[in-house]
Amino acid sequence: MITIKSEEEIEIMVKGGKILAGIMKELKKQVKPGITTKELDRLAENLILKSGGKCSFKGHENFPTCLCTSINEEIVHAVPSNRILKEGDIISLDLGLCYEGYHADMAITVPVGKVKPEILRLIWITKKSLKRGIKKVKPGNTFGDIGWAIQNYVESNGFNVVRDLCGHGIGKELHEDPKILNYGKLHSGPEIKEGMVFCIEPMVVMGDWQIKESKDGFGWETKDGSLSCHFEAVVAVVHNGNKILTPIP
């Protein structure tokens, strides 16, 4: 069942989203060759606790850390470790925060030092596809409209969207209904209504969209080893359109 949030609930989520976006901005500044993903996780957790929030991911379905750090062919949910970031890598930072009983969840992909132009293009197209999806968020449209906008933009630029992973509703639970696919048909799926709050998160790959589970049992990566990019934002549906609760830095 898709829950409808009250104005008061959305205001709480606005506050949590603003805190999370600020933390993500700080994390982005720290991405550079030589840093380990475990160091980024430690910083993320310290910043969340300092803000008065809690880590949404740590302990969720036994996930061991606060931050997800997916590098290169890793798509989502990679566990931070002593792995050192290298010049030319790209890393997806995916972070969740619980503030006053409500969750916020966002992701960005960051180049590590200098990367190839085509990799920068992958990042740009993925980020732009998120914006294209968000533009479809308004009362009366459907969730298929969001997926269509993302898929159409990504594929027209020569990349592919991951089919087996998706966005989701969010609120008192980290993952709520509905599932929000990054592909679809116009005017299909449930109708978007005022008061809904959900995460849109395009995951875009350079190669084939098929995926495989990582060896640690938590993450997912591309089956063909091609590079992957991920952006995610929390969006609330308001009477005249939408409100982005986690602005992308």
Q: Is 149 exposed, middle or buried (0-12, 13-18, 19+ CB in 10 A)?
A: buried
**Binding-site annotation: residue ranges for a divalent metal cation:** 94, 105, 168, 201, 232
Q: What residues are designated binding site for substrate?
A: 77, 175
Considering only CA atoms, give the Rg of the chain.
17
Pairing of strands 176-180, 167-169: antiparallel
Dist. CA 124–CA 107, nearest whole Å: 14
Kindly compute the dihedral angle of the four CA atoms of residues 75, 80, 84, 87, in this order, to the nearest 10 degrees. 30
Q: Which of 88, 212, 235, 73 is nearest to 150 (CA)?
A: 235
State phi, psi for 221 to the nearest 5 degrees: -140, 165
Mapped onto helix, strand or coil, the DSSP state of residue 131 is helix
Q: Name the nearest CA neighbour of 149 among 167, 131, 127, 166.
A: 131
Rounded Cα distance, 94 and 201, in Å: 10
Contact between 92 and 76 (Cβ < 8 Å): yes
Burial class of 58 by CB neighbour count within 10 A (0 to 12, 13 to 18, 19+) = middle
CA distances (Å), origin 197, targets 3, 26, 167, 175, 237: 8, 25, 11, 11, 6
Q: Which residues are annotated as a binding site?
A: 77, 94, 105, 168, 175, 201, 232
